[in-house]
Amino acid sequence: MTVSTMRAVTQDGFGGPEVLKVAQVPRPVPLPTEVLVRVHAAGINPVDWKTRAGTGMAGVLGEPPFILGWDVSGVVEETGFGVTTLKAGDEVYGMPWFPRAAGGYAEYVTAPARQFARKPATVGHEQAAAVPLAALTAWQALVDAAEVRPGQRVLIHAAAGGVGHFAVQFAKHLGAHVIGTASRSRHDWLTKLGADELIDYTAVRFEDAVRDVDVVIDLVGDHHDTTSTRSLQVLRPGGLIVAIPAGVSEQLRDAAEARGVRA
């Protein structure tokens, strides 16, 4: 007999963690081209807690109630009509429905089969669920926004973070000379990931340690010691800063233009 309900972490209003509650909700049914995935792990990203609090993607989702959670890893339980790429029993991971409410904080989730990939057997569900949003953010910054080319000098702030450590590996794969800011304790690890130069931001200001950078991937922003604005100093003429946490403000864009760089 098919179970018609499931447990999920829901929220009926915006606020702190106290607005989240475990409830019984209807179990979703896969539509044509969709798969039903039994969730083994769900990732939590900054966008999750921001949306929970009423910012982030709250403007897209509208008013609660809803079930958050975009990064998931699990096992295909059932396939909808027309699905040929996946089958029941396949281990998968993905970022379904972003920026709509995917419902990953639940025992089951449905989404188009194309929004999932097969999980490598050597990667656990917990690790796989931490990949999609962070890795995609890094890839979009380097490839879609910056169009990084071989030989370019790329500076990555917060290189040891969730997005940053993917950015280091992707930039190296693209043939860039990779420079990262991170505390000293993370340097050996980042070197193994492919970083060519590392700056201990706790010991030296990065603008005193590096110059002639083609691309800055700023994962810190101006909220902490004006990292974005300071980064304009290290760019070569015509260089580009991709500012991710808060985006590019009009003030930052004007400052970049005044220095002959882009933002």
pLDDT of residue 100: 83
CATH of the domain at 145: 3.40.50.720
**Domain check: are 112 and 212 in the same one?**
no
**Domain check: are 71 and 137 in the same one?**
no
pLDDT of residue 246: 75
Phi and psi at residue 163, to the nearest 5°:
-80, -40
**Domain check: are 90 and 32 in the same one?**
yes
**Domain check: are 90 and 149 in the same one?**
no
Give 103-157 as a DSSP string.
--SBSEEEEEGGGEEEPPTTS-HHHHHTSHHHHHHHHIIIIIIS---TT-EEEET
**Domain check: are 101 and 152 in the same one?**
no
Number of domains in the chain: 2
Which two three-digit tokens encode residue 116? Answer: 């999932």
**Domain check: are 49 and 143 in the same one?**
no
**Domain check: are 77 and 41 in the same one?**
yes
pLDDT of residue 180: 99
pTM above 0.85, yes or no: yes
pLDDT of residue 90: 99
| Helix 132-139 × helix 164-173 angle, to 10° | 50
Phi and psi at residue 128, to the nearest 5°:
-65, -35
pLDDT of residue 247: 82
Residue 36 lies in domain: 5-124
Listed in sequence order, the residues at least 6 apart from 25 whose beta carbon sits closer than 8 Å to its beta carbon are: 5, 6, 7, 8, 10, 67, 106
**Domain check: are 147 and 110 in the same one?**
no
What residue has token string 């994962």?
Answer: 219
**Domain check: are 231 and 207 in the same one?**
yes
**Domain check: are 120 and 137 in the same one?**
no
Q: What angle do CA 154, 158, 160 make, to 5 degrees?
A: 100
pLDDT of residue 224: 62
Radius of gyration of the chain (CA): 21
**Domain check: are 147 and 198 in the same one?**
yes
> Where does a domain end: 77, 107, 124?
124
> Where does a domain end: 65, 94, 124?
124
> How does pLDDT run along the chain (263 residues), one tens digit per residue?
567 999 999 999 999 999 999 999 999 999 999 999 999 999 999 999 999 999 989 988 888 889 999 999 999 999 999 999 999 999 999 999 888 877 999 999 999 999 999 999 999 999 999 999 999 999 999 999 999 999 999 999 999 999 999 999 999 999 999 999 999 999 999 999 999 999 999 999 999 999 999 999 999 987 667 899 999 999 999 999 999 987 888 999 999 999 999 99
**Domain check: are 193 and 96 in the same one?**
no
CATH of the domain at 9: 3.90.180.10
> Where does a domain end: 124, 150, 175?
124
pLDDT of residue 32: 98
Q: Which helix (H) or strand (E) holds 192?
A: helix 187-193
